[in-house]
Structure 1
Amino acid sequence: MLEIAGYEDGPLVDGSGFLDLPLFWPCHLGSGLVGEEAQEAALGPDWDDAQDLCSRMFDAEEWPVFTVGLRSGHAVHVVYRNREGDRGVDYLLMRPSWQEAVTLAVDDGHFRGPGLCWPELASAADQAAPTGVTDPDARLLLLFPMLGDAGVPESAAARLASALAALTLAEDPARLARLLLRNQGQWESANWTRRDGEWICDGSHSFRDPSNAFALTPAQTAAVSSAFAADPDR
């Protein structure tokens, strides 16, 4: 059984078996499918099957975990926190030497985010990793719900569409990519800046906005930016 500090009460299980199911991805990206147009673009005629799969993903008896390793030695754990009455998806940054993980984003009714800017997301997707999820498209879509970036480059839509074409049943991946980028998560898209080499944002619900009372500590902020080591020109 997997173990992550703070989740000792959860039956954590390896979620990698879901990754080969095309309907997993619209379920995972669900908080960004705002409105009927986006839901239709993602699910088409497969709404009922997707609902059944989502029920499995949020089963209280098993909490699926997906791990995206980074070349810095850190790893992002995507945890389906399936507590009765408190279900959601947590995005955690961890390093073997740490006693506890740093929470980057929380996708639930009391959401926190964004957790990543586009350069960090693109960098994490394309890094080779010896463990965890290795496919770049799967890495991109797993971490995409953390995104909240008002300044995504024009190339982002094509990169996202390519991943959606490879892994989902969407009939028009380019259209779905545009809709997902238009509605990034439950939070408003934030403006990101580099301060002394560290990425920070102005998102009022984000751990990475230093002005928020619940923001990461300066040491955590530095560790997160170092972990992703993102090129601002991506």
Structure 2
Amino acid sequence: RPIMHLYGYHRHHLPADEWLAPEELMSSFAIDLAAARRLIDQERNFPYPSPDNLAVDGSPLLDEVAFWPAHLRYTTDPEVDLPAAFGLSEDQVLATGLAPLTRLDQWPVFTVALPTGGVILIVHRTQHSRSLLRGQWVQQAAEHQVDFWLAPTDGAGLPLGTLAAELRGPALRWPELKAIAKAAAPDRREIARRLLLLAPMLGDKHVEAEAVTWFAEAISVLGGLDRSVPAVRRAAERLTYGNECFRFATWREEDGIWVCDGVDSPRNPDPLIGLPA
């Protein structure tokens, strides 16, 4: 297994416990302070799997056509036949594309270089979550999510967004996504890969119409169907307008920094939810 450089990702993705407050547990489960603190200690000390041990290089999957609709499945509406845009059936995507992304023993990691330096990591991770039931920690069914992690050339990494039961994003405006993809020119295949790898983090109410053409071309390059095929066009349109929770996000420039008004965007300047400037 190749050793993956995770750019600080593991430091962030140990389970957070900020939401665990003894007073809230006491109230919710009618327990005393000692019992509440014991539950918090159990969660903090639980041996969650380490990304350092599970991360694997996902780049070989990029040549599998079924990978792309599997990777993008959280980005488009259910009525959009995304597999058809890549000339596949849903069963083929589940068996060939999604299966390698949802293993408990391996977390595929993909890297997109940024034209200004640094990288964005895309991590598909699957693990068992835990929840409190009647004052006891209970293991839940395995959950799959996709993390997008910004790793600058220096300093600590930062979470850009997450695709899971609770979405976090958007993280990119269309001009930014386009610039990251264009930086791979003249390699059309690499341009397409970058565009589709980062497409789930696009959220821009004022996205330019050209984005549909860009996405259609990317799907055509990686899937093999002509970009004028109706299924390809429909998928491209849906990718352009993004996840339904992100598509109405607007952006503005403040002191030379582009910020987002999305209530779940890490690039929202609200100090309660956003990243540092």
Gap change, CA 1:157 and 1:212, over 3 Å in 2: farther
Q: Which residue of the partner structure matches residue 230 of structure 1?
A: none
Q: Which residue of the partner structure matches residue 197 of structure 1?
A: 256
Letter in 1 for 2:180: A
**Please, which of 7, 10, 21 is the counterpart of residue 7 of structure 1?**
10
- 1:191 shift after superposition: 0.6
Which segments of 5 or more consecutive residues in structure 1 lack a partner in the other structure? 219-234
Which segments of 5 or more consecutive residues in structure 2 lack a partner in the other structure? 12-49, 129-141
Q: Which residue of the partner structure matches residue 159 of structure 2?
A: 103
Gap change, CA 1:191 and 1:20, over 3 Å in 2: same
Q: Which residue of the partner structure matches residue 136 of structure 1?
A: 191
Indicate whether 1:24 and 2:67 are aligned: yes
- 1:126 shift after superposition: 1.1
CA contact (8 A) 1:192 1:199 kept: yes
SS at match of 1:25: helix
CA contact (8 A) 1:201 1:209 kept: yes
Distance 2:206 2:4 in 1: 37
**Please, which of 66, 76, 81 is the counterpart of residue 33 of structure 1?**
76
CA contact (8 A) 1:147 1:185 kept: no
Q: Which residue of the partner structure matches residue 150 of structure 2?
A: 93
SS at match of 1:151: coil
Gap change, CA 1:148 and 1:15, over 3 Å in 2: same
Q: Report how many aligned residue pairs link the two structures.
A: 213
More displaced 10-residue stretch of structure 1: 44-53 or 157-166: 44-53
Indicate whether 1:79 and 2:123 are aligned: yes
CA contact (8 A) 1:151 1:191 kept: yes
Gap change, CA 1:101 and 1:165, over 3 Å in 2: same
Letter in 2 for 1:15: G
- 1:43 shift after superposition: 6.0
Q: Which residue of the partner structure matches residue 58 of structure 1?
A: 102
Q: Which residue of the partner structure matches residue 158 of structure 1?
A: 213
- 1:50 shift after superposition: 0.5
Letter in 2 for 1:7: H
Q: Deviations over 1:108-154 (max 9, x none)?
A: 1111000101011000111149xxxx811100100110001000111
**Please, which of 60, 77, 91 is the counterpart of residue 48 of structure 1?**
91
Letter in 2 for 1:68: V
**TM-score normalised by structure 1 residue count:** 0.83
> Which aligned segments of 4 or more residues in structure 1 are displaced greater than 3 angstroms?
37-45, 169-172, 185-188
Letter in 2 for 1:202: D
Percent identical:
33
**TM-score normalised by structure 2 residue count:** 0.71
Of structures 1 and 2, the larger Rg is shown by 2
More displaced 10-residue stretch of structure 1: 110-119 or 50-59: 50-59
Q: Deviations over 1:43-73 (max 9, x none)?
A: 6651111111202211111111110112322
SS at match of 1:67: strand
Gap change, CA 1:116 and 1:92, over 3 Å in 2: same
Distance 1:6 1:124 in 2: 21
- 1:105 shift after superposition: 0.9
